[in-house]
Chain A
Amino acid sequence: MLRRTVLSAVGAAAFTMALGGAAVAQETLKIGLILPMTGPFASNGRQIETAAKLYMQQHGDTVAGKKIELIVKDDASVADVAKRIAQELIVKDKIVVMAGFGNTPLALAPAPLATQAKVPAVVMAAATSSVTDASPFIVRSGFTQPQVNVPMAEWAAQNGIKKVVTLVSDYGPGIDAEKAFSGTFTTKGGQVENLRVPLANPDFSPFLQKVADAKPDALFAFVPSGVGAQFMKQFVERGLDKSGIRLIGPGDVTDDELLNSIGDVAIGTITTMHYSAAHDSPENKLFVEGFKKAANGLRPNFMAVGGYDGMHLIYEGLKKTNGAGGQALLDAMKGMSWVSPRGPVAIDPETRDPIQNVYVRKVERVNGELYNVEFATIPNVKDPTKATKSN
């Protein structure tokens, strides 16, 4: 008799605990943030993590009555580790959505998992156009290289630049940037010569010497965020700053995080990009101030804005689906539009890439600091690679 009572009590206790556990699990929505926090792309990871946490701090950690938990994981800039971590987050932590992905290989490796597990993946950094083709569950909150480089080519053609040498890092986004720029620029009657620098351990000096010998009107440069300072240093060492060759390119070279440490040599560089810390809007002011406070004065760059908007996309998506993930969340994120610190953004429901303004900017000294100051806007640019494909 006593034994039975004890047994049933234990059983009841176990049952309640199991129920309680399930209830708690239902109330938390986990977001897996996979970022390169160490290794060569660590600066991207740091920017995105700070921005994502800032977003949660500003907007609270409850969505649709459920608590949001952000799990930050370091992939050490190694693609197979990124994939393993994504897989663990899906099967072990049961995340509703994954996000981050510091560069193209780090996004392409886990992409098949998004499809298999039907877990949406918000790509905040990787900028090769083809990333969203890798899985129908990928949504991008950052930008694509062709998106910012076609406007660059148009601007160059309109502003008396006839001969350009391109110098890009030899991997997905670099090749995308080169193709997008060269393609548009040659159809506008320009002349282009292409150079590619290895991604690992880049030494730019021999390539820059070639540029100096070719004497083009402008040098179009793409290097991944973080390598810009080294590039600019070697640009000056080779005397290219005094040769009359103009420096143009996507905003990666004059990355906001590094711009001040690059110094005055950067002044006058013309770039096209979707985000500048100097963008004049109340949303951006709030973002920059909050970010600097959270990161000890570090300035946010385009990686940070990708992370911030990625979180916005996830928050608003979850609000629409009332906390449900999978296909519903994906559908909720498609076609969403809002005003971001970078300006107006919408997610193209066809390609799942952002449609956004691209700004032409010039490096100037403002209040003692160097900024990319926007002076022209090309509104609502879609990813041009996919736009031509679908036509």
Chain B
Amino acid sequence: MKSHTEDDVRRVLTRRGRWGFSEIAFWLVAVATLVFMPDRHLILNEIAIIALFALSLDLILGYAGIVSLGHAAFFGLGAYVAGILAQQGIGNPLIGLAAAALAAAILGLATSFLVLRGSDLTKLMVALGVALILGEVANRMAWLTGGADGLQGVNVSPLLGLFEFDMFGTTAYAYSLTVLFVLFVLARRVMASPYGLSLRSIRDNPLRARAIGIPVNRRLVVIYTLAAAYAGSAGALLAQTIQFVSLDVLAFHRSADVMLVLVIGGAGYLYGGIIGAVVFKILQDYLSDLTPQYWLFWIGLILVLLVLMDRERMVSKARTLWKRTANRLTHRAEPLATTRTAREI
């Protein structure tokens, strides 16, 4: 009986771990932008970085239910670690990236014990507090960080010793996109594993999860640390590709923006952050070209409409419609009900 369930679970997980057609198409399109949109690489680079940052927030918010308004702490730490390393002569971008991820992971591990106490509101406030403290520390340590004037003289060596970070942002975008993809695949693997499932059960009902024997706190500490490393990597990408770090990287608006991105794209599925980043940045770019003064108004309006119209419902409707059409086209009579059970597992 037990082995039967195990087999079931394994089968479902394997199926869900498989790459779908639309997913492959998504990444192909991303690669295509590298070739076919040469004069937009700079903003695409920024989109890739924000997407990675949003992916990081999604890991804790969407999958583990940890609400955080201080995620910029890790992003900023990563940016400063990578920036300062490059400034001090260690210009290899991959070393900088690894160091930034490691530093952010250590901070994530250390603060996870503070953050993962109490209710959602407590978590939110503690995370916010950590980010504020870090921001002030960076401001005070002006001899190291450049303070409010920003970190000057960040010189990043060519990627792999071959590709110079050019004016057009081509190397920058290729680099950021690759890092995003690798980390995305890793996150996808983690989330399709039993560990990922246990996280989701914690999110949906922590008491029940504890009752069936899931070590709730340990799981949360691990995902919080992983998410911190992701955010640190995103920060490092920003510092290395822009070659400048200012106190903004730790500012509250970073944490708020990434939350916004996730709200636009949808939390709890890995593409949410990426789609959100694409939509948010393109909207911002387009609107701020139209009205440099009032674009924030339009972004706000769109956000309100999005939330009011219930994006979840619209997306699920679209998805059902798509599934139905796809089924009809391929004549594959896969009942929708099975998919639903699989999601509930």
Find out whether the CB atom of A87 lies under 8 angstroms from the CB atom of B167.
yes
The answer to whether A72 and B149 touch (CB under 8 A), given A84-B43, A109-B244, is no
Find out whether the CB atom of A170 lies under 8 angstroms from the CB atom of B139.
yes
Which of B43, B246, B249 neighbours the largest number of chain A CB atoms within 10 Å of its CB?
B246
B248 within 8 A of A: yes
Cross-interface CB contact of A72 among B242, B249, B292, cutoff 8 Å: B292
**In the bound complex, CA of A134 to CA of B39 (Å):** 26
Which of A45, A116, A198 neighbours the largest number of chain B CB atoms within 10 Å of its CB?
A198
Q: What are the residues of chain B within 8 A of A46 when measuring CB–CB?
A: 293
> Number of A interface residues, CB 8 Å?
37
Chain A: interface secondary structure? helix
B247 within 8 A of A: yes
B295 within 8 A of A: yes
Q: What are the residues of chain A within 8 A of B40 when measuring CB–CB?
A: 92
Find out whether the CB atom of B149 lies under 8 angstroms from the CB atom of A91.
no
Interface residues of B in 241-264 (CB under 8 A from A): 242-249, 251
Closest residue of B by beta carbon distance from A199:
B148
Cross-interface CB contact of A79 among B147, B167, B244, B292, cutoff 8 Å: B244
**In the bound complex, CA of A72 to CA of B293 (Å):** 10
CB distance from B112 to the nearest CB of A (A): 27
CB distance from B258 to the nearest CB of A (A): 14
Q: What are the residues of chain A within 8 A of B135 when measuring CB–CB?
A: 200
Find out whether the CB atom of B242 lies under 8 angstroms from the CB atom of A116.
no
The answer to whether A84 and B292 touch (CB under 8 A), given A172-B148, A198-B139, is no
**In the bound complex, CA of A92 to CA of B168 (Å):** 9
Find out whether the CB atom of A83 lies under 8 angstroms from the CB atom of B167.
no
**In the bound complex, CA of A45 to CA of B40 (Å):** 25
Interface residues of A in 155-185 (CB under 8 A from B): 170-172
Q: What are the residues of chain B within 8 A of A87 when measuring CB–CB?
A: 42, 167, 169
Q: What are the residues of chain A within 8 A of B46 when measuring CB–CB?
A: 84
A128 within 8 A of B: yes
> Number of B interface residues, CB 8 Å?
32
B288 within 8 A of A: yes
Q: What are the residues of chain B within 8 A of A92 when measuring CB–CB?
A: 39-40
The answer to whether A79 and B248 touch (CB under 8 A), given A38-B293, A104-B149, A134-B152, is yes
Q: What are the residues of chain A within 8 A of B248 when measuring CB–CB?
A: 78-80
Find out whether the CB atom of A172 lies under 8 angstroms from the CB atom of B244.
no
Find out whether the CB atom of A80 lies under 8 angstroms from the CB atom of B149.
no
The answer to whether A170 and B147 touch (CB under 8 A), given A84-B242, A87-B167, A134-B152, is yes
CB distance from B168 to the nearest CB of A (A): 5
**In the bound complex, CA of A171 to CA of B288 (Å):** 28
CB distance from A115 to the nearest CB of B (A): 11
Contact mask for chain A residues 277-307; partner B; CB cutoff 8 A; 1 contact, 0 none: 0000000000000000000000000000000
Find out whether the CB atom of A80 lies under 8 angstroms from the CB atom of B242.
yes
A35 within 8 A of B: yes
A127 within 8 A of B: no
A339 within 8 A of B: no
Q: What are the residues of chain A within 8 A of B206 when measuring CB–CB?
A: none
Find out whether the CB atom of B148 lies under 8 angstroms from the CB atom of A170.
yes
**In the bound complex, CA of A73 to CA of B46 (Å):** 16
Q: What are the residues of chain B within 8 A of A311 when measuring CB–CB?
A: none
Q: What are the residues of chain A within 8 A of B150 when measuring CB–CB?
A: 79, 105, 108-109
The answer to whether A171 and B292 touch (CB under 8 A), given A79-B244, A80-B242, A87-B42, is no
The answer to whether A91 and B42 touch (CB under 8 A), given A104-B149, A128-B149, is yes
B296 within 8 A of A: yes
A90 within 8 A of B: yes
Q: What are the residues of chain A within 8 A of B169 when measuring CB–CB?
A: 87, 91
Contact mask for chain A residues 50-65; partner B; CB cutoff 8 A; 1 contact, 0 none: 0000000000000000
Contact mask for chain A residues 27-44; partner B; CB cutoff 8 A; 1 contact, 0 none: 000000001011000100
B238 within 8 A of A: yes
Contact mask for chain B residues 136-152; partner A; CB cutoff 8 A; 1 contact, 0 none: 10010000000111101
Find out whether the CB atom of A172 lies under 8 angstroms from the CB atom of B167.
no
Closest residue of B by beta carbon distance from A78:
B248
Which of B42, B139, B148, B238 neighbours the largest number of chain A CB atoms within 10 Å of its CB?
B148
Contact mask for chain B residues 145-170; partner A; CB cutoff 8 A; 1 contact, 0 none: 00111101000000000000001110
CB distance from A117 to the nearest CB of B (A): 6
Which of B139, B251, B288 neighbours the largest number of chain A CB atoms within 10 Å of its CB?
B288
**In the bound complex, CA of A200 to CA of B246 (Å):** 13
A88 within 8 A of B: yes
Contact mask for chain A residues 308-324; partner B; CB cutoff 8 A; 1 contact, 0 none: 00000000000000000
**In the bound complex, CA of A96 to CA of B244 (Å):** 24
Contact mask for chain B residues 229-243; partner A; CB cutoff 8 A; 1 contact, 0 none: 000000000100011
Cross-interface CB contact of B148 among A42, A76, A80, A105, cutoff 8 Å: A105
The answer to whether A90 and B167 touch (CB under 8 A), given A80-B244, A83-B242, A109-B244, is yes
Closest residue of B by beta carbon distance from A79:
B246
The answer to whether A80 and B293 touch (CB under 8 A), given A87-B169, A88-B43, is no
Cross-interface CB contact of A171 among B43, B149, B289, cutoff 8 Å: B149
A326 within 8 A of B: no
CB distance from B301 to the nearest CB of A (A): 15
Find out whether the CB atom of A117 lies under 8 angstroms from the CB atom of B244.
no
Closest residue of B by beta carbon distance from A86:
B42
Contact mask for chain B residues 287-318; partner A; CB cutoff 8 A; 1 contact, 0 none: 01100110110000000000000000000000
**In the bound complex, CA of A70 to CA of B128 (Å):** 40
Find out whether the CB atom of B148 lies under 8 angstroms from the CB atom of A37.
no
Q: What are the residues of chain A within 8 A of B39 when measuring CB–CB?
A: 91-92
**In the bound complex, CA of A104 to CA of B142 (Å):** 15
A sample of 13 inter-chain contacts (CB < 8 A) reads: A38-B296, A42-B293, A49-B292, A74-B292, A76-B288, A79-B150, A80-B246, A88-B43, A108-B152, A172-B148, A198-B136, A198-B139, A200-B139
Which of A's residues lie within 8 Å of B, judged by CB? 35, 37-38, 42, 45-46, 49, 72-74, 76, 78-80, 83-84, 87-88, 90-92, 104-105, 108-109, 112-113, 116-117, 128, 134, 170-172, 198-200
Enumerate the 7 nearest inter-chain pairs by beta-carbon distance, A residue then B residue, closest first: A171-B148, A79-B246, A74-B292, A37-B292, A172-B149, A109-B244, A105-B150
Taking A42-B293, A83-B244 as given, write out 15 further A-B residue pairs in contact, using a Cβ cutoff of 8 Å, ordered by the A residue number: A37-B293, A73-B288, A73-B292, A80-B245, A80-B248, A84-B242, A87-B42, A88-B42, A91-B169, A104-B149, A105-B149, A108-B152, A109-B244, A171-B148, A198-B139
